[in-house]
Amino acid sequence: MARKQINELLNSSNVKLEDLLLIQDTSGTNFNITIEQLYDTIQSSTSGIVSELEELVTNFNNATSGINDNIDNISDSINNSTSGIINELSINKSLAQQAKTGYSHSFGFAEKPQSNGYDWFPNIGINYTTDDVLNNTFKVFSLDRDVHLALDQPYWTDPTPGNPTDIGLFAGQNLPNNVDNLFDFDYDFNAEYGTNGNTGFENSIGRIRLNDCVPGDQLRVRFDFNVIPQIANTTIETALWYSNRDASDNITLTFPLTSQPIFYGTGTVGKTYLNRVEISAWITSTEDINALTLPSIKSDNPVIIQPLGVLVTILR
């Protein structure tokens, strides 16, 4: 009877230890069992439960092993995908940097009077003469390193400017990627080609430097200058005077890249007019990259020109 009661208690969800230690028989007397008997009874009753638990653990391990394999596969796939994305982003970043548009500016035009702090006196400048008119000359305006050093000084403090020497007003901070300089203030045309030619660059100093450009770039030049008409009804043409050169520096073609003409009618004589003329050119060959170019002016009457500054932009 006692063992039957023990088994019933073990199968009950509310089994208590005191129930197992004290069980009555049918005569009403206490039936005392030993700890060993109790242990044997419990072990016999729970062996089936243990087996089931062990089977559940084994099945769980088998199931999670497959999950772990799937997780590992997913992790590998994610790593492979993100690695490719990172590589692609790095390539795109590099291409974007190479494609960066940039610019440079200089006030360093020749013949600005040193005695006036390289600022033009009123009604004094570079004369476009009657002979220039008769010869239909595009007068080229030279650069001057001394003027550049005096005037191309940063006027700001934040962000901290760099060293402007020989690069321009912005000290190269706004240049396109892989472009070291857009000006050559020391270039001497006569030293390379002599004085007996008829390119229009004879006796000129300096140039807009395109050596670091690449095919597909676009050159855009804004030429700032004052005009003082000497005769009413005067028309001027602003241009980039351009000489293409091959890889051996042989000049292959010289021509003006002109902008829209500017007309000065009656009542304009002796007055000063500020102009900010923009001219563009493509760069698509070695001859374009190696070209010589400077701002120039042509007029149908004598005028006085005061070159002020030039902004050179490379668009990509």
107 and 66 together in one domain: no
| 59 shares a domain with 16 | yes
**Above 70 in pLDDT, residue 190?**
yes
Q: Give yes or no: residues 27 and 132 share one domain.
A: no
The mean of the pLDDT values for the chain is 85
Question: For residue 138, what pLDDT is reported?
Answer: 98
Residue among 306, 132, 142 nearest 228 (CA): 306
| pLDDT class of 281 with cuts at 50, 70, 90 | very high
Q: Are residues 134 and 247 both part of a single domain? A: yes
Domain's final residue, options 45, 77, 109: 77
- Contact 174/156 with Cβ under 8 angstroms? no
**Cα–Cα distances in Å, from 128 out to 141, 226, 240?**
11, 13, 17
d(CA 201, CA 210): 17
Q: Please, which pLDDT band fits residue 16 given cuts at 50, 70 and 90?
A: low
Does residue 89 lie in a domain region?
Answer: no
Q: What residues have CB less than 8 Å from 226, skipping those under 6 apart?
A: 120, 125, 272, 273, 274, 275, 305, 306, 308
pTM (predicted TM-score): 0.70
Give the end of a domain, one of 77, 108, 136: 77
Q: Collapsing DSSP states into helix, strand and coil, what is residue 77? A: helix
DSSP annotation string for 189-229? HHHHH-SS--SS-TT-EEEE--TT--TT-EEEEEEEEEEEE
Asked whether residue 168 falls in the same domain as residue 292, the answer is yes
Which of the listed residues 77, 110, 143 is the one where a domain comes to its end? Answer: 77
On whether residue 90 sits in a domain, the answer given is: no
- Residue 262: pLDDT band (50, 70, 90) is very high
Average of per-residue pLDDT across 65-92: 66
The predicted-structure confidence for 96-119, as pLDDT tens digits, reads as follows 545 699 999 999 999 999 999 999
Residue-wise pLDDT tens digits, 145-158 = 999 999 999 988 89
Inside any domain, residue 84: no
Q: Is residue 153 part of a domain?
A: yes
Structural domain boundaries enclosing 62 = 2-77
Given a cut of 80, is residue 93 above it in pLDDT? no
Among the listed residues 248, 240, 249, 246, the one whose alpha carbon sits nearest the alpha carbon of residue 295: 240
Number of domains forming the structure of the chain: 2
Q: At what angle do helices 2-11 and 35-98 cross, to 10 degrees?
A: 20
In angstroms, the CA 295 to CA 201 distance is 11
